[in-house]
């Protein structure tokens, strides 16, 4: 339950709603508890009138129209109806206050979680499933809202109702009230025992739901692969197994509720029987009236829903606590560090990797080992190597997505971590190996890479530079054509050219292309390379590729092998060494000839 304490920071912002809601809860219960005394007085008055043909004193104070059996009944009905109407109005405003508060908290919490997600490092997303992240910001937040809304509202209502009803019952007759309340300790013990089981089941159910969300999200993201290999049957089978686990845990929770609710209602019914029996004996002795018995029965029934709702409220609280605990797990994850205050508008000197080592965690193998190189401003660096040699990792280290495990990365002589992150990222134009396009227009996907509205002036020229202009006529709405999810309506080469245009539009000081030309033909590749070189004379370029044709014109070429720089130099110098680079060149030349 401690996890729910973290919600205080949200609730305190809307304490006015909570206060107003409590006032209306109090008033609604006031109008509710005055109905039984009206019934008691009416029944006792009618019985006195019937038995002794004598009107009670309070009736004599009323107009003559009410001084009869029918008049007393009509008056009682009017008073009860008026009290119920006022109770209903108060309940309306009660809900309009507390439920509205819960919606505001839900809105704020979703914004806070999403904002926190954006500040987390890439390693966090690499270690967590997308479906699980989505589930915590949607289903878990919804369950927390059920706590901050209905659970709080019903709990306050239950508290007010019990305090008022028991106070009146004890005031009327202390001994009879004790008899009537005898089943309540058993009820409290039942709730205590059951709530722990409900909490554990709720936590497991949330985990199962996250597994379902993650599985579905991954399946739909890779639907092309699933269809290509005709693997639908296997995925349907796996989903049925996961869904069956979810159903089984839910059914276990239903069984707990199934035992809980009849027990609660049986104990309430026992209180009614005790009321009739003990109250009847008191009537015979003359210590109680018939009106008192009816009044007690009404009070016991008034307690029926609040007490019976304990199971529902307990479930809401337990589920809210389990969901908030899951949310806090991610909210307590440290955000990506941004300790620096230095600003950088353009690269003016050089980029240096100094004795850089990197691994993802202490138990993992080294991805990069003792990396040393310098990239002068306005120069062009090429990185090539074997699969898994750490080429892409160098790019992510340079942009500050990862931090070196050992060593230092310097830009203009200042360590990367000393720069203000948002400002630092603006100097980069990045074409990733795995290109992601949004389900938006082609124009907006390209403008996504811009730093300001002024960059829009480069839109047309960046499209031309990326050799995308010759294909615009083939798009239904030209540059305003809306792309499918993840750019599914585009070919691989078109995706890469859109990504290149997105990287170039702000004329970055440092351009990083990670296998960004792998899906285009050699003719288009030559055009793109020439256009990119001519795009910005102040630009420092870093090309990462598995094709030598993409990097052979670079002034400096690094050949990575198993996380180390095994060879470096110009294209000509590396061929003369007759090492791994030359061996790879020969293989690619033979493949192209075939």
CATH of the domain at 140: 1.20.1560.10
Q: Give the closest residue to 502 by CA, choosing from 476, 463, 532.
A: 463
The total number of structural domains that make up the chain = 2
pLDDT mean over 271-291: 82
Instruction: Tell me: do 52 and 135 sit in the same domain.
Output: yes
Higher pLDDT among residues 453 and 15, named by residue:
15
Instruction: Tell me: do 113 and 20 sit in the same domain.
Output: yes
| pLDDT tens column, 328-364 | 888 887 776 656 778 888 888 899 999 999 988 788 8
Residue 543 pLDDT level (bands cut at 50, 70, 90): very high
Instruction: Tell me: do 345 and 324 sit in the same domain.
Output: no
The answer to whether residue 138 sits within a structural domain is yes
Q: What is the pLDDT of residue 58?
A: 62
Domain residue limits at 376: 340-427+553-594
| pLDDT tens column, 66-117 | 666 677 777 778 888 999 999 999 999 999 999 999 999 999 999 999 988 8
CATH code, domain with 366: 3.40.50.300
Instruction: Return mean pLDDT, the chain.
Output: 83
DSSP for 308-341, written as a single string: HHHHHHHHHHHHHHHHHHHHHHHHTSPPPP----
Q: What token pair was written down for 471? A: 């294909």
Q: What percent of the chain has pLDDT over 90?
A: 19
Instruction: Tell me: do 255 and 295 sit in the same domain.
Output: yes
Instruction: Tell me: do 236 and 356 sit in the same domain.
Output: no
State how far the Cα of 474 lies from the Cα of 310, in Å rounded to an integer. Answer: 63
Domain end, chosen from 275, 297, 331, is at 331
Instruction: Tell me: do 303 and 384 sit in the same domain.
Output: no
| Start-end of H helices in 485-544 | 492-504, 522-535
The answer to whether residue 114 sits within a structural domain is yes
Domain end, chosen from 297, 313, 331, is at 331
Domain end, chosen from 308, 331, 354, is at 331
The answer to whether residue 464 sits within a structural domain is no
Instruction: Tell me: do 354 and 217 sit in the same domain.
Output: no
| Start-end of H helices in 53-68 | 57-60
List phi, psi (to 5°) of 429.
-115, 125
The answer to whether residue 69 sits within a structural domain is yes
The answer to whether residue 303 scores a pLDDT higher than 60 is yes
Instruction: Tell me: do 123 and 182 sit in the same domain.
Output: yes
Instruction: Tell me: do 314 and 364 sit in the same domain.
Output: no
Instruction: Tell me: do 357 and 253 sit in the same domain.
Output: no
State how far the Cα of 481 lies from the Cα of 562, in Å rounded to an integer. Answer: 43
CB 330 within 8 A of CB 116: yes
| pLDDT tens column, 30-69 | 999 998 988 888 787 777 666 666 666 666 666 666 666 6
Least confident span in 140-154, 429-443, 473-487: 473-487
The answer to whether residue 394 scores a pLDDT higher than 70 is yes
- What's the DSSP call for residue 67? S
Q: What is the pLDDT of residue 371?
A: 92
Instruction: Tell me: do 111 and 42 sit in the same domain.
Output: yes
| pLDDT tens column, 396-445 | 888 888 889 999 999 998 888 888 877 788 888 888 878 888 878 888 88
- CA of 51: how far to CAs of 48, 70, 273, 495, in Å? 5, 15, 27, 94
Instruction: Tell me: do 240 and 286 sit in the same domain.
Output: yes
pLDDT mean over 554-564: 91
| pLDDT tens column, 199-236 | 677 778 877 887 888 788 778 777 777 777 777 888 88
Please, which residues bridge with residue 414 across strands? 411
The answer to whether residue 455 sits within a structural domain is no
For residue 53, the tally of other CB atoms under 10 A from its CB is: 7
Least confident span in 160-164, 242-246, 256-260: 256-260
């Amino acid at each position: 339950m401690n996890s729910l304490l973290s919600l205080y920071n949200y609730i305190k912002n809307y304490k006015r709603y909570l206060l107003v809601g409590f006032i209306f809860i109090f008033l609604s219960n006031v109008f509710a508890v005055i109905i039984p005394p009206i019934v008691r007085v009416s029944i006792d008055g009618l019985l006195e009138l019937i038995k002794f043909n004598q009107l009670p004193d309070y009736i004599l104070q009323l107009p003559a129209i009410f001084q009869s059996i029918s008049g007393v009944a009509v008056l009682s009905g009017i008073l009860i109806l008026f009290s119920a109407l006022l109770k209903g109005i108060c309940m309306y405003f009660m809900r309009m206050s507390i439920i509205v508060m819960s919606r505001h908290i839900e809105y704020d919490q979703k914004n806070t979680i999403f904002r926190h997600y954006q500040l987390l490092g890439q390693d966090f997303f690499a270690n967590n499933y997308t479906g699980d992240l989505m589930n915590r910001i949607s289903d878990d937040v919804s369950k927390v809202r059920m706590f901050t809304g209905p659970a709080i509202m019903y709990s306050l209502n239950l508290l007010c109702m019990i305090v008022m009803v028991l106070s009146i019952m004890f005031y009327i007759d202390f001994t009879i009230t004790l008899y009537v309340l005898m089943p309540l300790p058993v009820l409290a013990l039942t709730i205590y025992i059951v709530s722990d089981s409900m909490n554990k089941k709720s936590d497991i159910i949330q985990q199962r739901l996250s597994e379902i969300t993650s599985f579905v999200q991954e399946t739909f993201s890779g639907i092309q692969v699933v269809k290509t290999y005709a693997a639908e049957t296997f995925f349907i089978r796996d989903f049925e197994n996961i869904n069956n686990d979810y159903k089984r845990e839910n059914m276990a929770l239903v069984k707990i509720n199934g035992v809980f609710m009849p027990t609660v209602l049986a104990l309430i019914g026992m209180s009614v029987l005790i009321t009739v029996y003990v109250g009847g004996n008191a009537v015979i002795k003359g210590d109680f009236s018939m009106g008192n018995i009816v009044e007690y029965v009404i009070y016991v029934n008034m307690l029926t829903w609040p007490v019976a709702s304990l199971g529902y409220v307990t479930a809401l609280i337990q589920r809210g606590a389990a969901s908030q605990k899951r949310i806090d797990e991610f909210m307590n994850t440290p955000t990506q560090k941004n300790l620096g205050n230095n600003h950088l508008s353009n690269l003016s000197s050089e980029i240096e990797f100094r004795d850089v080592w990197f691994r993802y965690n202490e138990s993992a193998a080294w991805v990069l080992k003792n990396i040393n190189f310098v990239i002068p401003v306005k120069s062009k660096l090429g990185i090539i190597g074997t699969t898994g040699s750490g080429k892409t990792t160098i790019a992510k280290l340079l942009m500050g997505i990862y931090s070196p495990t050992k060593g230092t990365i310097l830009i203009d002589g200042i360590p990367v971590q000393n720069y203000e992150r948002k400002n630092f990222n603006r100097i980069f134009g990045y074409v990733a190996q795995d290109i992601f396009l949004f389900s938006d227009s082609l124009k907006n996907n390209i403008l996504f890479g811009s730093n300001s509205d002024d960059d829009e002036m480069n839109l047309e020229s960046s499209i031309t530079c990326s050799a995308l202009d010759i294909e615009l006529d083939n798009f239904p709405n030209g540059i305003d054509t809306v792309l499918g999810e993840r750019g599914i309506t585009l070919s691989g080469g078109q995706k890469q050219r859109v990504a290149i245009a997105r990287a170039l539009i702000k004329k970055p000081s440092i351009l990083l292309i990670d296998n960004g030309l792998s899906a285009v033909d050699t003719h288009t590749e030559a055009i793109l390379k020439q256009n990119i070189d001519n795009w910005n004379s102040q630009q420092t370029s870093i090309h990462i590729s598995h094709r030598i044709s993409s990097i052979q014109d670079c002034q400096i070429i690094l050949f990575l092998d198993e996380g180390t720089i095994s060879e470096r130099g110009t294209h000509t110098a590396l061929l003369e060494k007759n090492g791994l680079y030359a061996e790879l060149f020969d293989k690619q030349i033979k493949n192209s000839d075939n």
